[in-house]
Amino acid sequence: MFSEMIRKKAFGISLAIFVILLLAPSFLSRFYIYFLAVIFVTALLAMSLNLCVGHGMLFQFHHGVFYGVGAYSSGLLLAKTALPWWMAFSAGPLAAALAGLLIGIFCIRLNRLYFGMLQISLGSLIWAIAFRWYDLTGGDDGIHGIPIPDFIASTTSSYYFVLIVLGICVALMYLILKSPFGSTLQAIRDNPERCAAVGIHVRRHQLKAIVIATFFGGIAGVLFVVVEGSIFPDLLFWVLSLEIFIMCLLGGWFTFAGPMLGAAIIVSLRTFVGTYTEYWTLILGVILILLIFFLPEGIMGYNYRRLLRSRSKYTSESPVE
Amino acid sequence: MEGGQEITIAALSSTFLVGLSRAMILFVVTAGLSFVLGVLRVPNVAHGSLYMIGAFAAYSISTFFGGGSIGFWLALVFAPLVVALVSLIAERSLFCHLYQREHLMLLLFTFALMLILGDLTKIVWGAEYRSVMAPAFLQGSISVFGSPFPRYNLFLLVIGPLVAIGLWLFSTKTKMGKIARAAAVDMEMVGAIGINVSWVFAFAFVLGCLLAGLGGALVSPTISVTIGMDHNIIIEAFLIVTIGGLGNMWGALVGSLIFGITQAFGVLLLPQFAIVFPYLAVVIVLTLKPTGMLKSVW
Amino acid sequence: MLRVEDLHKSFDEFKAVNGAHLTVEKGQLVAVIGPNGAGKTTLFNLITGQLQPDNGTVLLNDEDISRLPPHVICRKGIARSFQIANVFHRLSVFRNVQISVLSQRKLSNKLFQPAARLVVDETHRILESVGLLDRKMDVAGSLSHGDKRILEIAIALGNEPKLLILDEPTAGMSPEETTTTMALIQRLAQEEGLTILFCEHDMEVVFGTAQSIMVMQQGHSIIQDEPEIVRQNTEVQQAYLGDE
């Protein structure tokens, strides 16, 4: 079957990439190992956002809040308490999921537009609190030199830790999307009214998806602390959330692995462009405009459609309304 | 109570009036946002950026004309026009081609516009703090209930209602205003009776942005004009529009009043976390009335 | 089984439904007819919960369901199809039907089992009964209009309904497609023992199949009775003058 073939090919490619990444530290310099680790963390973050956006059509415009909450919870516990590291690490996703639940409960009762706007505003409150509560969070400066457990403190060991966690999370997300829960979520994305008519409690289902997505976002936050050893309010800042959103769009928001591709591209671009100019935000905006006009389904989305069309199993009917 | 002034009648009334004047600026800005929201059904995320450009433009214009009273009045007139021009360019060159697409694309475009305008502002004006001087007779303060109250704020208390009345007259008495209102309720109908929908959108967008620019010009003597103004104001504007009722101009007024006054009292009672007060008010309002206090236009 | 009593619904000034009455007995095939704008779709929306009535009641087996939300009403045994093809256009035909079967079996929230292995037989059975089995891997958005309407019905069947409500099932179909679809509907009524309520404004279609017909005009019910009696009724004839 056609889709079977694609799936087998994709699996093979993913496996090959994973093996290459496992071997990478042996032939890359320390900077590039660190750079890849940053991409992994961002990729996980983008994948978690896409659970909401690409597969659920929820306008999660301030996903960065949950990333930041995860990072801050675990970072603060590591820096300021004597709790064991695995407790601090677990606190990250749990706190993020809790925040996701609270903000989600509030926003989900409203329609899509309100949801997005309100999330931006409520999330910004958390940013403002982190920014101003100097005693607790280090305010504007953040906190640096967070003690990371020895076995993952070095560049290479943190690289492997992040890669393994990313792999596990991606596998879990794949299972979730292929499950009845994921299938129903995608149906809600396409037609929430129809879903209600077949007996699905749409809002509750969406809320569950948000909690799952924010949980993974929190894990990404913990990984950030592992890689960087510090936390600062920028993690909670709105423009970062926009950047993640653009990653999903760029890679292909209706595909599974698209966000990871988008993350890799944007992080690379940002690092590269950063050496020439400080106006990265401007370039980000231009990228977004180009995406809107020329590549609304992202790179992988576009490729997938081209593949399908070449099989002429697909009419000119566009799946994007 | 930590920090802040003593809670006296003077402090209370002064706080109330400060909140009220801040609400006037918020109203001018959110009325524009609401208007665009009502007609185009899209929240213009770049609205804050245009507000910021309005403030910077006011700085440039007033400095160009010597920085005194004349400079200020000229800035007040021309800064909004500059902003309107910027928005018209963005609209006619790019935005209008998206009207056939789904709403998410329009929304994302305004995001992109915000990013681009934000950096463009930094490129043109730099990252330092700028300031604009109010005209001489509006400087200083008068005494209200024993507390000093800036004269400029009085000016704002007059301008706010004037803008409100002007908008109301416009939307109910003029042809363009009535068309815009009809378009907000039923776009297809408006198109069906032969009116060019694209021009209605363009007009609504530019008018909304002009109001943002006016807000920026009005606020410029009261704060330091700097990068980052756009983020702060758009977050507040979203909240206000949400609690007021999407697309409803009077809702924008009500929301602005609630926001401005609670914020002022927050500064009085808990200066470090003053920001929490208006948010608390928002949470309360939305818990009781999830769709906003006044009826949404749609 | 289903009883609608004196239902009213207005949108601002416009009275979409203005005193509608309807009775559907178990096992019956009931049709609601009326000219365009008579309020048929609004009536259906009121019954299945997409809209809330201003006045009046909707009773399912003597239980008041007037103000319940759509997903709760679905759980009580009513499934419906929509007038405008309302499928999950990005998903395959198979998954379209599977969604409602999963929902019916309360499996929608399973997180770590692959959906591809669940309720496969039931989904295939439904697809076969409507004749779409050979198209099960096609993307729903690429189906012809007539096939989308049939997919609509298949999705509704996934809910194992006791009462199936179809909103203009043959709208936009060619004559052959119409005949096939009506034959399908009749077969479903007989073989599956389904109670079916549908609305139409093609007279031929209705008079050949329905056992009871309710006529609507401008939001209220003129009459409900057997086809022959309805056909003779003068008010009905007047309502349709200039419309046939």
Which pLDDT tens digit goes with each residue over A169-214?
999 999 999 999 999 999 999 888 899 999 899 999 999 999 999 9
**Among B97, B235, B290, beta carbon nearest to A124:** B235
Backbone angles phi, psi at C80, to 5 degrees: -140, 160
Looking at residue C117, what is its pLDDT?
Answer: 84
What is d(CA B161, CA B158) in angstroms, rounded to the nearest whole number?
6
3-state secondary structure chain C: CEEEEEEEEEECCEEEEEEEEEEECCCCEEEEECCCCCCHHHHHHHHHCCCCCCEEEEEECCEECCCCCHHHHHHCCEEEECCCCCCCCCCEHHHHHHHHHHHHCCCCCCCCCCHHHCCHHHHHHHHHHHCCHHHCCCEHHHCCHHHHHHHHHHHHHCCCCCEEEEECCCCCCCHHHHHHHHHHHHHHHHHCCCEEEEEECCHHHHHHHCCEEEEEECCEEEEEECHHHHHHCHHHHHHHCCCC
Residues of chain C found within 8 Å of residue A180, distances taken between Cβ atoms = 102, 107-110, 113, 115, 118
Euclidean distance between CA atoms C117 and B57, whole angstroms: 63
Residues of B in contact with A279 (CB under 8 A): 119, 122-123
**Chain A contacts to B (CB-CB under 8 A):** 59, 106, 109-110, 113-114, 116-118, 120-122, 124-125, 128-129, 132-133, 238-239, 242, 245, 249, 279, 281-282, 284-286, 288-289, 292-293, 296, 320-321
Pairing relationship of beta strands C55-60 and C220-225 according to DSSP bridges: unpaired
Q: In whole angstroms, what is the distance from residue B190 CA to residue B80 CA?
A: 28
Interchain proximity B279–A125, CB inside 8 Å: yes
Contact A168/C at CB under 8 A: no
The rounded distance, in Å, linking the Cα atoms of B297 and B71 is 39
Task: Identify whether the C-beta of residue C22 lies closer than 8 Å to the C-beta of residue C39.
Answer: no
Residues 6+ apart with CB under 8 A from A118: A106, A107, A110, B238, B239, B242, B286
Look up the CATH number of the domain holding residue A202.
Answer: 1.10.3470
Count of C-beta atoms within a 10 Å radius of residue B284: 13
Residues near C162 by beta carbon (within 8 Å), at least 6 away in sequence: C1, C26, C77, C78, C194, C195
Ramachandran angles phi, psi of C136, nearest 5°: -65, -25
- Average the pLDDT over each of C11-15, C134-138, C154-158 and give the range with the smallest value: C11-15
Read off the DSSP letter of residue B149: E
CA separation for the pair A17, B143 (Å, rounded)? 72
Is the pLDDT reported for residue B3 higher than 70?
no
Q: What is the pLDDT of residue A320?
A: 34
- Phi, psi at A302, each rounded to 5°: -65, -45
Token pair of B250, please?
């009077």
Q: How far is A3 from chain C (nearest CA, A)?
A: 9
Q: How far is C131 from chain A (nearest CA, A)?
A: 20
Across the range C83-107, mean pLDDT stands at 88
Give the residue among B144, B195, B178 at the shortest CA–CA distance from B17: B144
- One-letter amino acid identity for B285? V
Among C120, C184, C127, C183, which residue's Cα sits nearest to residue C154? Answer: C127
Q: Give me the long-range contacts of B95-101 (CB less than 8 A, separation at least 24).
A: B95/B205, B96/B198, B96/B201, B96/B202, B97/A293, B98/A292, B99/B197, B99/B198, B99/B201, B101/A296
The answer to whether the CB of B115 falls within 8 A of the CB of B109 is no
Count how many pairs of residues, chain A against chain C, have C-beta atoms within 8 Å: 120
Q: C74 and chain A: CB distance < 8 Å anywhere?
A: yes
pLDDT at residue B52, as a whole number: 95
Query: Does a structural domain hold residue A64?
Result: yes
A87-113 average pLDDT score: 89
Q: Is residue A155 part of a domain?
A: yes
Query: Has residue B24 got a pLDDT over 60?
Result: yes
Residue from A59, A124, A135, A277 to probe the interface with B (highest B Cβ count within 10 Å)? A124
Looking at residues B166-175, what average pLDDT do you find?
84
What residues in C contact A199, CB-CB < 8 Å? 71, 74-75, 100, 103-104, 159
- When divided into structural domains, chain A yields a total of 1
List CB contacts (< 8 A) between C70 and chain A.
Answer: 193, 196-197
Cβ distance A132 to B275 less than 8 Å, yes or no, reads: yes
Domain span at residue A185? 2-310
Q: Quote the pTM value.
A: 0.88
Give the residue among B81, B60, B82, B80 at the shortest CA–CA distance from B71.
B60
Q: How many CA atoms lie within 13 A of A110 on its CB side?
A: 25
Query: Highest-confidence range of B83-87, B219-223, C15-19, by mean pLDDT?
Result: B83-87
Q: Looking at the domain that runs over C2-240, which CATH code has it been given?
A: 3.40.50.300
**Are the C-beta atoms of residues B290 and A109 closer than 8 Å to each other?**
yes
Is the distance from CB of B250 to CB of B152 less than 8 angstroms?
Answer: no
C118 and C168 in contact (C-beta within 8 Å)? no
Q: Are C60 and C77 in contact (CB under 8 A)?
A: yes
Q: What residues of chain C, 49 to 68, have a C-beta less than 8 Å from chain A?
A: 50
pLDDT, one tens digit per residue, over B36-77 is 988 888 889 999 999 999 999 999 998 888 877 888 889 999
Tell me what the pLDDT averaged over chain A comes to: 88
Who among B112, B273, B290 is closest to A288 (CB)? B112
Task: Please give the pLDDT value at position A130.
Answer: 86
CB B28 within 8 A of CB B197: no
Look up residue B135 and give its DSSP letter. P
Question: Which of A176, A183, A193, A201 to mutate to test binding with chain C, by most C CBs within 10 Å of its CB?
Answer: A183
Average pLDDT over chain B, rounded to an integer: 86
Asked if C115 contacts A186 with a C-beta cutoff of 8 angstroms, the reply is no
| Per-residue model confidence as pLDDT tens digits over C186-210 | 888 888 788 999 888 777 778 778 8
Rounded to the nearest 5°, which phi and psi values hold at A9? -60, -45
pLDDT at residue number B37: 87
Closest among A315, A313, A320 to A297, alpha carbons compared: A320
Q: Does C have 3 or more CB contacts under 8 Å with A? A: yes
- Both tokens of residue A140? 């504007």
User: Do B119 and A281 touch, CB atoms closer than 8 A?
Assistant: yes
- B138 secondary structure, DSSP code: G
Domain edges within chain C: 2-240
Q: B241 to chain A: which residues are within 8 Å by CB?
A: 117
Q: What percent of chain C has pLDDT over 70?
A: 98
**Quick one: pLDDT at residue B129?**
87
Interface residues of chain B, partner chain A, Cβ below 8 Å: 41, 43, 94, 97-98, 101-105, 107-109, 111-116, 118-120, 122-123, 231, 235-236, 238-239, 241-242, 246, 272-273, 275-276, 279, 282-283, 286, 290-291
Angstrom distance (rounded) from CA C18 to CA C8: 5
pLDDT at position C234 over 80: no
* The predicted structure's pLDDT at residue A47: 96
Give B175's contacts (C-beta < 8 A, 6+ positions apart): none
Whole-number percent of chain A with pLDDT over 70 = 96
Choose the mutation target among A179, A195, A254 for the interface with C, i.e. most C CBs under 10 Å: A179
Q: What is the pLDDT of residues A52-91, one digit of tens each?
A: 999 998 989 999 999 999 999 999 999 888 888 889 999 9
Nearest to B116 among A128, A286, A321 (CB): A286
Tell me: pLDDT of A315 over 50. no
Rounded to the nearest 5 percent, the helix, strand and coil shares of chain B are 75, 5, 20
**Is residue A321 pLDDT above 50, yes or no?**
no
Best of A65, A136, A282, A294 to disrupt the B interface (most B CBs within 10 Å) is A282
Does residue A316 lie in a domain region?
no
Residue C97: count other Cβ atoms within 10 Å of its Cβ. Answer: 32
Contact A175/C114, CB-based, under 8 Å?
Answer: yes
pLDDT tens digits along B249-295: 889 999 999 999 999 988 888 887 888 888 888 888 888 887 778 87
Q: Among residues A240, A207, A182, A241, which one has the least CA distance to residue A97?
A: A207
Distance, in Å, from the CA atom of A105 to the CA atom of A110, rounded to the nearest integer, reads 10
